[in-house]
Structure 1
Amino acid sequence: DIVKANSREPISNEGDIYALIACCETGAERLSGMMEEFGIDHLDDLADYIIDTSYRGTIEAIAELPKGTWRNVLKVDGYEQEIDLHAALTIAEDRVALDFTGTSGLSNKGINVPLNYATAYSVFALRCIIGPDIPNNAGSLAPFHVTGPKNCILNAQPPAPVAMRHTLGQMTPDLVYGCLSQALPDRVPAEGASCMYDLPLRHTPEAVSRGDEQFALELVFSGGTGARPGLDGLSATAFPSGVWGSQVETTEAVAPVLITRRELRPDSGGPGRTRGGLGQVIEMRSSDNADFMLFLSVERVLNPANGRFGGQAAAPGRIRISRDGPDLPGKGEVRVKAGETLIFETPGGGGFGPPRERDPDDIRRDLDEGLISRQAAHDIYGLEP
């Protein structure tokens, strides 16, 4: 995905493409060999069996769940104003229904989400808890039904702008888990950073006329995931997207920027019996004494990830130019001038359970690894010197 604007040629993923082609060719050869070995000339019956078996397995998993309807409201930063995402989750004997009635209306900006996108991430979150060992296919997905009023922000209709749909669409797992945690309190994690923490960078408009270097790339620096009932959250890890974080060396090789700091952000994970995953701190500046443009569309700046069942909220995201500069909004266009340092801090995940119930050995380990401060260890977790 990293492209030199003046050449339009991919820089970093050519090897990955060849590897993918080789994998596909190997898979095709193995599949053809299997069909020849068993004397079959089509896969329809096998596919039907897999889908039917997956459907039955999912229905059995749903049948074991508590029955009822649970509701949750998740407040997110939005663009022009803060937005309320509403969800009602109903678990019946043979189906799970999710409805977004009550959710705020459309934005004038491109953060609106088509229903199929909201459905994909919502159902993915549910499937991580309900029958996670069952293959993901039409059969295992059939019992899940998602609805929402037309032109709420999670069911955008044409011609609403949706180019940045991932900004809110990937918040839906936290919305859904707020419902599911009421039914399954010992299986659902706390809220996480969730939104993809992207840094889209571009050359300035005047760079073209001046003959300066032109570039365009979109970096990803993830926040922390929510604490799990029995395990800490994952630090600097993307959920639900699963996108791998951008590498410093690759970035500096293809764009005129210098990353001077990248490390975990102490105390950013929400305190709890199990601690939320940490965000990270990234500092960068121009490497050729030229301005560059930053286009922001991130969440969790105004509304951090909440803890669950006594766990505390995580640190919110924070973006600024220089250490003494004012905090920037999570959405909009920013010009980073030559000589200035962009400081990009991603949010942590919420904690799970009361912090005073955390194992003292885990607190000491966090201290030794620099994940929490001594003040937090004493004031929040109650660890005596």
Structure 2
Amino acid sequence: MAQEGAVGRDPLDAVGLEILRSRLQAVAEEGAIAIERTAISTVITECRDYSCTLLDATGALMVAGGAVTHHFGVCRYAVQVTLETHGDTIAEGDVFFANDPYNGGGLHAQDVLVQMPVFVDGRLVAWVVNSGHVMDMGGMVFGSWTPEATDCFQESLRLPPVRLFQAGVEQRDIWQVLRTNVRIPDVVEMDVRSLVAGCEVAGNKLIEIAATIGAQGFVDGTDQLRRLAEREMRRRISQLADGVYRTTTWTEWGEELYEVPCELTIAGDAMTFDFTGAPPQATHYFNTRPHIVVAGVVADPSDALTWDIPLNEGMFDPITVICPPGTIVNSSPPAPVASAHCDVAMNASMTAEACVMLAIAASPASEVRRLQTGPVAHTAMGIQTWAYTTPDGQPDGWMMLDGAMGGAAGSIDRDGTDMWTFMVTRKPIMEAIDVEMLEAFYPVLVDFKKIRKGMFGAGAHRGGGGCHMRFRPHGTEAIVGQLIGIRERLPLNGWAGGGPGAVNTVIRHRADGSAEELPPKSSNVTIAAGESIEFGLPSGGGWGDPLDRDPEAVARDVRQRRLTEQEAGRVYGVIVGGGVDLAATKERRTRIRLERLAAAAPAVSPVTGPARPGDLDLAPVPLFPGIEQRGMSAVVSQSGAVLAHAPGAWTDGCPVIETKVVDGLVERTYLDPASGRALMAEVVPETAPCSVVSLPSRWTGATVPA
């Protein structure tokens, strides 16, 4: 490793850089472990909803540890606001607290941020920023997270960057403000102190690293890591086909739909994600902020693009994110933001990742083509917070992170994962509390917890199953909950012809044996003694036409009771009865494809003739899974059917089956006009155009060969 000289120092060599990176990563993980070992709430100690992020003196991300990747990105914003607010007064021994998404906070008010500047020889060289979900930050309900809130002032105590410690001296007035405004002050205070402890552990170890290579060597080395990460990110972006890629989804509020459109433009080694067209901010708790959108939009697509590289500021540098002010992706007070990291923000990162998947699918040079997957299922959530009164009359409660255990989408080469929403990810695993621990800590009994079964997410590679669970009060008169569900009526779409995923279901079972379905977004739901609540989580969609699924895989699903024999025949065309009847299965599948074509509406712009002269003589270039570009023609890979001529949309050449899902929503399946194979399926509002548009520049600019 190069040593610091009197005049200057040489850059670290490759070995020295890797040693520095590994040490920084170890420091972040040790800081994270300190949080888990010091906190007392189960949301941190059991579910691991926390993080430890290391940043340079300017707030640029170096590395991070812990389970919640989206935390890492928002810490950049937090440090920048703290620097702007406190400037030259920041000193060694200071520790700051912030939780206001509008002013230096993180993902939402409950994900508090504790920030500690790190000094070496009087010079600010780094920051440690720890985030953890605290169980209550005041507001109108226990847990500070309710669909009932209509402005941010109802939701919680919100603090801009303020000092918990100044030059090492505890600021008791701020701690008292915090304790006074929350329902379980002892628990909240201890969890916040665990974040401080994690800062101390990580900060001290950063000082040790700087002592070995000097303060300037530390600064230069971390800058080298940033530039390396940026270079690699740009290299992988440059493998993607230049062009414009669009996907659209909608955030739900009952029967209201709020459009979340994303347009990705790739130009050389840079990407721009544009959310122009998002509707004005609402009086619902899902409004979000640009720093939250950016954190997800960079973290989630980079799970595929740079899956083998720790998240670093250099990976943010080639990416621009446009969030128009005054909209649900860039709100201002008094818009409520208790769910600023979920409904809209996760839909935004999901559409962004889907755009990147469109680009990967159209890019034969991309080295991550093997990681293609359908729309990621982190919006397949049904989190709940529950409160009760202890025997001594005090409030207490917990968060059910089991509600984050949806099912992953199917991918290019495998089924989706059960009870976990990311198929392709560098993320550590955030966990749900064990059933035994839940029952030991809180007054509930769990009737069952298992994988949800059903026909959802059908495909050549099916989606995984989400959590299916039922529990009841035990040892208390009642529990009162806030239901924080996403995907109420609108499922996640499949990919490459796969079917849509499941939606959220919540059922209250009454003591008299009757049952009542509850909206997945509900406030102050009371479950009394003798009653129980059951939920089934959403999932991602399938990949590929279900009729292309291996019949033996379908038979295995039947044996595992994921499907009935009747469902296997209806959805997959597989005849199961003591074994797979291959001849009958082949016949059934052929008949289903013909029935599809007979039932479909004609293509919007059918291609009646063959490909343009010479097109089929050209080497195929992928355009979408199962669709290839040959010159100026878009062709179905398996059948050779011509769907469109450049620059038209290939979907316009497909016959389409449209069926009603619920009022206002339809499922559309785009078919190969030659074979009846499903090429793409989507669930969209009945008046919406196609939700997926892939326009690589080589397609929109295609010309007749000379």
Same fold (TM over 0.5): yes
Question: Partner of 2:373 in structure 1?
Answer: 189
Contact 1:192/1:348 (8 A) holds in 2: no
Aligned pairs for 1:340-351 (under 5 A) are 340-351=531-542
Question: Partner of 1:233 in structure 2?
Answer: 416
Question: Partner of 1:369 in structure 2?
Answer: 560
Contact 1:319/1:329 (8 A) holds in 2: yes
- 1: distance between equivalents of 2:252 and 2:420? 21
1:246 aligns with 2:433: yes
Aligned pairs for 1:14-25 (under 5 A) are 24=202
Question: Partner of 1:326 in structure 2?
Answer: 516
In structure 2, the CA distance between the partners of 1:27 and 1:39, relative to structure 1 (3 Å rule), is closer
Question: Partner of 2:547 in structure 1?
Answer: 356
- 2: distance between equivalents of 1:131 and 1:292? 44
Map Cα deviations across residues 211-267 of structure 1 (whole Å, 9 max, x no partner).
556321111121111111111111111448853123211211121111111000112
**What is the CA distance between 1:327 and its match in structure 2?**
2.1
Contact 2:499/2:541 (8 A) holds in 1: yes
Question: Partner of 1:217 in structure 2?
Answer: 398
The alignment's TM-score, normalised by the length of structure 1, stands at: 0.87
SS of equivalent residue, structure 2 residue 232: helix
Give the letter for the 1:113 counterpart.
T
**What is the CA distance between 1:120 and its match in structure 2?**
0.9
- 2: distance between equivalents of 1:271 and 1:360? 13
Aligned pairs for 1:111-150 (under 5 A) are 111-150=286-325
Which one has the largest radius of gyration?
2
Contact 1:107/1:153 (8 A) holds in 2: yes
SS of equivalent residue, structure 1 residue 9: helix
SS of equivalent residue, structure 1 residue 52: helix
Question: Partner of 1:52 in structure 2?
Answer: 227
**What is the CA distance between 1:48 and its match in structure 2?**
1.7
Question: Partner of 1:109 in structure 2?
Answer: 284
Unpaired runs of at least 5, structure 2: 1-40, 43-134, 137-182, 362-368, 577-706
Question: Partner of 1:311 in structure 2?
Answer: 498
- 1: distance between equivalents of 2:326 and 2:437? 40
In structure 2, the CA distance between the partners of 1:216 and 1:154, relative to structure 1 (3 Å rule), is same
SS of equivalent residue, structure 2 residue 517: coil
- 1: distance between equivalents of 2:209 and 2:198? 16
**What is the CA distance between 1:352 and its match in structure 2?**
0.5
In structure 2, the CA distance between the partners of 1:26 and 1:307, relative to structure 1 (3 Å rule), is same
Q: Number of aligned pairs?
A: 377
Contact 2:500/2:542 (8 A) holds in 1: yes
1:262 aligns with 2:437: no
Contact 2:297/2:353 (8 A) holds in 1: no
- Between the aligned residues of both structures, percent identity stands at 25
- 1: distance between equivalents of 2:571 and 2:265? 36
Contact 1:268/1:347 (8 A) holds in 2: no
1:68 aligns with 2:243: yes
Question: Partner of 1:158 in structure 2?
Answer: 333
Question: Partner of 1:176 in structure 2?
Answer: 352
In structure 2, the CA distance between the partners of 1:31 and 1:373, relative to structure 1 (3 Å rule), is farther
- 2: distance between equivalents of 1:270 and 1:39? 54
Map Cα deviations across residues 136-186 of structure 1 (whole Å, 9 max, x no partner).
211121001101211211111233211111221222232123323332235
Quote the RMSD (CA, aligned, Å). 3.1
The alignment's TM-score, normalised by the length of structure 2, stands at: 0.49
SS of equivalent residue, structure 2 residue 469: strand
Give the letter for the 1:307 counterpart.
G
SS of equivalent residue, structure 2 residue 459: coil
In structure 2, the CA distance between the partners of 1:7 and 1:129, relative to structure 1 (3 Å rule), is closer
- 1: distance between equivalents of 2:564 and 2:501? 14
Contact 1:321/1:343 (8 A) holds in 2: yes
Runs of 4+ in 1 over 6 A off after TM superposition: 16-23, 38-41
Question: Partner of 2:187 in structure 1?
Answer: 9
Give the letter for the 2:521 counterpart.
K
**What is the CA distance between 1:29 and its match in structure 2?**
8.9
Map Cα deviations across residues 186-206 of structure 1 (whole Å, 9 max, x no partner).
543223442343110012xxx
Pick aligned residue for 1:282 from 469, 479, 488: 469
Contact 1:268/1:278 (8 A) holds in 2: no
Give the letter for the 1:9 counterpart.
V
SS of equivalent residue, structure 1 residue 8: helix
Contact 1:58/1:134 (8 A) holds in 2: no
Unpaired runs of at least 5, structure 1: none
1:198 aligns with 2:378: no
Higher relative CO (CA 8 A, sep ≥ 6), structure 1 or 2?
1
SS of equivalent residue, structure 1 residue 70: strand
1:98 aligns with 2:279: no
SS of equivalent residue, structure 2 residue 416: coil
SS of equivalent residue, structure 2 residue 235: helix
Pick aligned residue for 1:43 from 218, 229, 244: 218
**What is the CA distance between 1:80 and its match in structure 2?**
7.3
SS of equivalent residue, structure 2 residue 419: coil
In structure 2, the CA distance between the partners of 1:77 and 1:379, relative to structure 1 (3 Å rule), is same
**What is the CA distance between 1:20 and its match in structure 2?**
6.3
- 2: distance between equivalents of 1:253 and 1:63? 53
- 2: distance between equivalents of 1:371 and 1:21? 46
Give the letter for the 2:187 counterpart.
E
